[in-house]
Chain A
């Protein structure tokens, strides 16, 4: 047992810190530090800088740009990036479809897509969920019917995050409605979003933002070579994709920054610049959150420090559940620190007189409720813990 990083890992941490704080333009990092979401251009620019340095997709196989890093190093890489306010590589590309194509795609698919995916020349969208297939994803109804060298796709996907930027969408479709088990009739298809018959319609969220979309497929013709792996194996690939990444499940460094900001704000956020930390209830709440975050970070470190590749550390299952709850708790803290300014939904129009952080506290709070819904809701996480760890 040893707390300290090995000398090599400590040097690696320094190297990453140096890279992110000197090689990624400060405009990109500062705009995020000031509470704005990363723009598409920032995300693309950052990923290309990382890719040029060979550190955009470290978890991929080496021949496609991966690095043979330990889980601990991948954790350090990601946490240092988040800490420096660098937008992480687009998860749809780097953590989802890239590893699936690398593991199950044909050589042709790999050559066609992996370099462009790593470099974010293609912006991928994830087309899994449907209006009637959420947690119960296997009930999906979008169909793909073989017609010569093409599939004809019909149906509707929804919740497609940043689909408005999407060039391509990886989508789960039903290729065999007669399959004995519904999971067996599902395939994974790559669809060019400029194909005729694809319609993307934005959905406004409760914070007024537009980050998710409905995607409609109406007689969309997709060449059969865009099938990933084998027909009918889509469910297996989807499970691989969703369970693939155990590193970085809980965005500890981002939460840490947000909480440190909240504490700094609280120190002068009271009437006349007084400190809200003088209120013992506020101070206790922040102390509690710092400690919860410490426990979360340590659990993440335990998982990456002692993870056999292939065999998940049992404690990894708590990271999504507790990570999202902690992340949400910090947005709750900020909305409460904002006081009456929490009535503002951003600092546009007449709300310009309010401090930026206070005016943005409510939309961020509302937006962050999503974290415990997507990526396997927290109820699904509890089901997994009860089932796979406790055997209930």
Chain B
């Protein structure tokens, strides 16, 4: 058992950290990037591609780096630290992960190669108005049209949906839920600003031309659930990075801000609240790291994702809110970053299932195990 990075992984982390520290050296720099569409840094995205980061989880023969969840997780944590707006989890882990898991050899080569070198941005269009983290498609339908397919219905919110070159879309067919590829420009896309300053789109399909991803006639509900779980675990790591920075931002502020003639750090009530933030952070970090390692060991991704999400979402609320409260009024301003951390944490812990959603899953499966053994190889609950 080992929870530390090896030297190659440490080198990767340092390289990503340097790149992101340059790109987002200040809150103003990040806000400037987010002010214009597509809401993230195209240049930064290409630099990540050059570093191999966008192809991390994919096989070398499709242009990837053949790394695993550990590398993906450490990149996510670095992105979280500076709350970088690049859609790494959505494009690489989620949409890319689905193409990798379900796509034909040709589709994988074409799309994952482009994703890895930064030339093709993938988006995952799955959530529908009113849906709550279901792994299946409900209202968007696909029908055969000639050699291909036509999609009808609405997906929203689709993260980076207006910028995506290719959308991976879930839709109902006679087989259940299947996955389709749509050229971004072919869909009607209305972009909007998200809570964290990024962009999402409402994507409307009106008989829009689509190609099936992988073999036709196969229900992909499980594949979607698996990919979402893997993305959720990466998002948990991103949240851990963000929480760590939010804590230290707050601690530094307590040490410098003076009221009543002394620094805030002299007040025990505030010290204790900072200590509680630290406890939450470390518990969340432990669980998110474990979920990453469980993926690496081929364990039950769904269970690990729910367990990590419950812990991380609780910590994210606590740390995000306390970071704002302990800063006082300054944190309410758009110019200051504490509030941005809160907003980003909100998005990270909602996009793929919130705490209640995951806790319900765990609560409905209590009798499947006597206790949780984190070392049980292959399954969290053997």
A294 to B376, CA, bound (A): 12
Given A3-B296, A315-B286: A389 and B278 within 8 A (CB)?
Answer: yes
Q: Return B151 CB to nearest CB of chain A, in Å.
A: 37
A293 at the interface (CB under 8 A from B): yes
Contacts of A2 in B (CB 8 A): 1-2, 293, 296-297
A11 at the interface (CB under 8 A from B): no
Contacts of A297 in B (CB 8 A): 374
A6 at the interface (CB under 8 A from B): yes
- Within 286-320 of A, Cβ neighbours of B (below 8 Å) are at 286-288, 290-299, 301-302, 305-306, 314-315, 318
B26 at the interface (CB under 8 A from A): no
Q: Return A137 CB to nearest CB of chain B, in Å.
A: 19
B276 at the interface (CB under 8 A from A): yes
Interface of B, secondary structure class, is helix
B162 at the interface (CB under 8 A from A): no
User: How does the 8 Å CB contact mask read for A251-266 relative to B, with 1 for contact and 0 for none?
Assistant: 0000011011001100
Q: How many pairs of A and B residues are in contact by the CB < 8 Å rule? A: 155
Closest residue of chain B to A9 (Cβ to Cβ) is: B1
Select one of A257, A294, A305, A391 contacting B307, CB under 8 A: A294
B363 touches A386 (CB 8 A): no
A295 to B312, CA, bound (A): 10
A299 to B290, CA, bound (A): 10
User: How does the 8 Å CB contact mask read for B289-313 relative to A, with 1 for contact and 0 for none?
Assistant: 1101110110000000001001100
Q: Which of A2, A259, A301 has the largest count of B CB atoms less than 10 A from its CB?
A: A2
Given A294-B374, A390-B278: A284 and B363 within 8 A (CB)?
Answer: yes
- Within 347-382 of B, Cβ neighbours of A (below 8 Å) are at 359-360, 362-364, 366-367, 370-372, 374-375, 377
B286 touches A299 (CB 8 A): yes
Select one of A1, A4, A283, A314 contacting B364, CB under 8 A: A283
Contacts of A291 in B (CB 8 A): 287, 307, 310-311, 359, 362, 372
B362 touches A72 (CB 8 A): no
User: How does the 8 Å CB contact mask read for A349-392 relative to B, with 1 for contact and 0 for none?
Assistant: 00000000000000000000000000000010111011101111
Q: Return B46 CB to nearest CB of chain A, in Å.
A: 29
A322 at the interface (CB under 8 A from B): yes
B359 touches A287 (CB 8 A): yes
Contacts of B5 in A (CB 8 A): 1
A280 at the interface (CB under 8 A from B): yes
Closest residue of chain B to A267 (Cβ to Cβ) is: B367
B297 touches A3 (CB 8 A): yes
Chain A: residues with Cβ within 8 Å of the partner, total of 52
Contacts of B275 in A (CB 8 A): 381-383, 385-386, 390
Select one of A286, A292, A298, A306 contacting B2, CB under 8 A: A306
B370 touches A306 (CB 8 A): no
B70 at the interface (CB under 8 A from A): yes
A338 at the interface (CB under 8 A from B): no
A321 at the interface (CB under 8 A from B): yes
Select one of A6, A264, A387 contacting B1, CB under 8 A: A6
B372 touches A293 (CB 8 A): yes
Q: Which of B1, B270, B293 has the largest count of A CB atoms less than 10 A from its CB?
A: B1
B179 at the interface (CB under 8 A from A): no
A5 at the interface (CB under 8 A from B): yes
Q: Which of B9, B286, B370 has the largest count of A CB atoms less than 10 A from its CB?
A: B286
A277 at the interface (CB under 8 A from B): yes
Given A260-B371, A290-B372, A392-B271: A295 and B283 within 8 A (CB)?
Answer: yes
B272 touches A72 (CB 8 A): no
A9 to B2, CA, bound (A): 12
Contacts of B372 in A (CB 8 A): 290-291, 293-294
A292 to B310, CA, bound (A): 9
User: How does the 8 Å CB contact mask read for B261-273 relative to A, with 1 for contact and 0 for none?
Assistant: 0000100101110
Closest residue of chain A to B293 (Cβ to Cβ) is: A3
B359 touches A284 (CB 8 A): yes
A389 to B282, CA, bound (A): 12
Chain B: residues with Cβ within 8 Å of the partner, total of 51
B3 at the interface (CB under 8 A from A): yes
B310 touches A318 (CB 8 A): no
A293 to B310, CA, bound (A): 12
User: How does the 8 Å CB contact mask read for B198-210 relative to A, with 1 for contact and 0 for none?
Assistant: 0000000000000
A277 to B274, CA, bound (A): 36
A306 touches B3 (CB 8 A): yes
B283 touches A322 (CB 8 A): yes
- Within 321-341 of A, Cβ neighbours of B (below 8 Å) are at 321-322
B272 touches A287 (CB 8 A): no
Select one of B4, B271, B282 contacting A315, CB under 8 A: B282
Given A286-B366, A294-B372, A385-B279: A1 and B286 within 8 A (CB)?
Answer: no
Contacts of A299 in B (CB 8 A): 282-283, 286
A264 to B285, CA, bound (A): 30
Contacts of A283 in B (CB 8 A): 363-364, 366
A321 to B280, CA, bound (A): 11
Closest residue of chain B to A297 (Cβ to Cβ) is: B374
Select one of B294, B360, B370 contacting A3, CB under 8 A: B294
A298 to B312, CA, bound (A): 14
A318 touches B279 (CB 8 A): yes
A392 touches B371 (CB 8 A): no
Contacts of A306 in B (CB 8 A): 2-4
A322 to B371, CA, bound (A): 19
Q: Return B215 CB to nearest CB of chain A, in Å.
A: 33
A-B contact sample (7 more), CB < 8 A, given A5-B375, A383-B268, A391-B251? A1-B5, A1-B9, A294-B287, A298-B290, A305-B1, A318-B282, A383-B272
Which residues of A come within 8 Å of B, CB atoms? 1-6, 9, 72, 256-257, 259-260, 263-264, 267, 277, 280, 283-284, 286-288, 290-299, 301-302, 305-306, 314-315, 318, 321-322, 379, 381-383, 385-387, 389-392
- 21 interchain pairs, CB-CB under 8 A: A1-B9, A2-B293, A3-B1, A3-B293, A3-B294, A4-B1, A288-B310, A291-B359, A291-B362, A291-B372, A294-B374, A299-B282, A315-B285, A318-B282, A382-B271, A383-B271, A385-B275, A390-B271, A390-B278, A391-B251, A392-B274
Which residues of B come within 8 Å of A, CB atoms? 1-6, 9, 70, 247, 251, 254-255, 265, 268, 270-272, 274-276, 278-279, 282-287, 289-290, 292-294, 296-297, 307, 310-311, 359-360, 362-364, 366-367, 370-372, 374-375, 377
The 4 closest A-B pairs by CB, nearest first: A298-B286, A3-B293, A386-B271, A287-B362
